Structure 1
Amino acid sequence: MDMATVAAFLVVDLLLVFTPGADWAYAIAAGLRGRSVVPAVAGLVAGYAGYTLLAVAGLVVVVAGSPAALTALTVVGAGYLIWLGLGVLRQPVALATGTESVAVTTGAEPVAGSSWRIALKGAGISGLNPKALLLYFSLFPQFIDAGAGWPVAAQTGLLGALHMAACAVVYLAVGVLARTVLRTRPSTARAVTRVSGALMIAIGGFLLVERLAG
């Protein structure tokens, strides 16, 4: 695997990471709560770490070779994304003023509780994110060269590590910006979360139609 291949992967990967969706909505919600965004981002990255381990073990190739399994995973992920988007639209961000607490919702439940619960939900969001299915099942194989002299597992691990690093940097920035900028602009915060919710529904719907129609 040469540097040109790695650079090309990073370009495509960053385009996916920078596309708003469920991960963004969760990072924004964590930032708007006014506490550290690290547990939420750590959970999101942990979900992708699970995919990376599966990919290194070769299980992603097995799943990718099974149309029924891939369709089932895509439908579950897309359905979860639509459910989250509907929850965001039903209950957009609400910022209390004065000494009252801040209530921020994403999906059907508020982003609240211990750091472990926040991280666990983040892992669930990224673990069922259809973007992960696209990335690991469709994109990774295009950048792996079995004749490059590197073991396929090592190449897969490198791509997975680069993706996790990109997610950590981007989602931390999104969460911090949400905390420092959007908390002082309640109307903007609500608009951003509504757009995120609509995008989640649109992406989930597109994936469902594309997979089931295919």
Structure 2
Amino acid sequence: MAASSVLAFWAVALLLIVVPGADWAFTIGAGLRGRAVGPAVGGLVVGYAAITVVVAAGVGALVAGNPVILTGLTLVGGLYLVWHGAMTFARPSTPASPREAAAGTDRAVFLRGIGVSALNPKGLLIFLALLPQFTNLHGAWPVSAQIGVLGLTFMITCGLFYLGVGRLTRVVLHGRPAAARLISRLSGAAMAAIGAWLIIDHLLR
């Protein structure tokens, strides 16, 4: 597999990762509630690993070859981002009390992380619609192996970035409810704007 393809995918994936979304909200929430961010981020990565396996099994090639499915996924993902952004804006996260921070377990946080990424339309769009576009059907590597490499690239980048986000949240925003609400609302507004852009862009084509 060409290194240029991996690098090109990494650049696009990084841009998508840094855009606020459900993963951001979940990671920031874990940091604000005083939970260790490791289990939260670990859950997100495992969820994306599950999607990678599904796409590598052949679903990705099917989606990549069907423009109707690609458009449908984009529209569904856009609507989800608008809804999730509006909810985040209306109900921003704030630092939790010591009692709330002690509630739950790392295992519960880990499992929620799996659900957030595995069921997140943004993640599904990345893996089903974007990832197959960086594969070569006539390359020396099987498509499933190429998808595996690209998926691993995304997971490593995602894990490192969100570990940084979670730890920064705990250091900077914990104990500062006004700042926490502002950051949460900005994330919500960005999510809604991105979702609206996805929908409008496809409807105008």
Matches within 5 A, 1:4-153: 4-95=4-95, 100-101=97-98, 113-153=104-144
**Cα deviation per residue 1:76-110 (whole Å; 9 max; x = unaligned)?**
333332332222222212336xxx44769xxxxxx
Q: In structure 2, what residue type is equivalent to 1:185?
A: R
Mapped partners of 1:128, 1:56: distance in 2: 17
2:32/2:94 contact within 8 Å kept: no
Partner of 1:107: none
How far the C-alpha of 1:130 sits from its partner, in A, is 4.1
1:155 aligns with 2:146: yes
Query: Structure 1 pair 114/86, CA: closer, same or farther in 2 (3 Å)?
Result: farther
CA distance in 1, matches of 2:12, 2:139: 21
Instruction: Supply the distance in 1 between the matched residues of 2:56 and 2:140 (Cα, whole angstroms).
Output: 16
C-alpha contact 1:75 1:208 (8 A) present in aligned 2: yes
Check 1:74–1:135 CA distance in 2 against 1; reply closer, same or farther (3 A cut): same
- CA drift of 1:162 comes to 0.8
Fraction of identical pairs, as percent: 48
- Aligned with 1:185 (options 160, 176, 182): 176
Output the TM-score relative to the length of structure 1: 0.81
Look up the SS of the partner of 2:174 in the other structure. Answer: helix
Deviates more, 1:126-135 or 1:18-27: 126-135
Task: Give the 4+ runs in structure 1 shifted more than 6 A.
Answer: none
| Deviation for aligned residue 1:159 | 0.4
Q: 1:35 is matched by which residue type in structure 2?
A: R
Unpaired segments of 5 or more residues in structure 2?
Answer: none
More helix, by proportion:
2
User: TM-score, with normalisation over the residues of structure 2?
Assistant: 0.84
For residues 35-88 of structure 1, what are the alpha-carbon distances to aligned partners after superposition, in whole Å with 9 as ceiling and x for unaligned?
111222122222211221122111112133334443443343333323322222
**In structure 2, what is the Cα distance between the partners aligned to 1:94 and 1:182?**
9
What is the CA-CA distance between 1:15 and the residue it aligns to?
A: 1.8
How far 1:22 moved relative to its partner?
A: 1.9
Q: Distance in 1 between matches of 2:116 and 2:200?
A: 21
What's 1:109 paired with?
none
Structure 1 unaligned regions, length at least 5:
105-111
- Give the residue type in structure 1 aligned to 2:189: A
Question: SS at 1:58's partner residue?
Answer: helix
Provide the aligned length of Structure 1 versus Structure 2: 204
Do the aligned partners of residues 202 and 117 (structure 1) sit closer, same or farther apart at CA in structure 2, a change above 3 Å counting? farther
Are 1:130 and 1:204, in contact at CA under 8 Å, matched by a contact in 2? no
Name the structure 1 match of 2:185.
Answer: 194
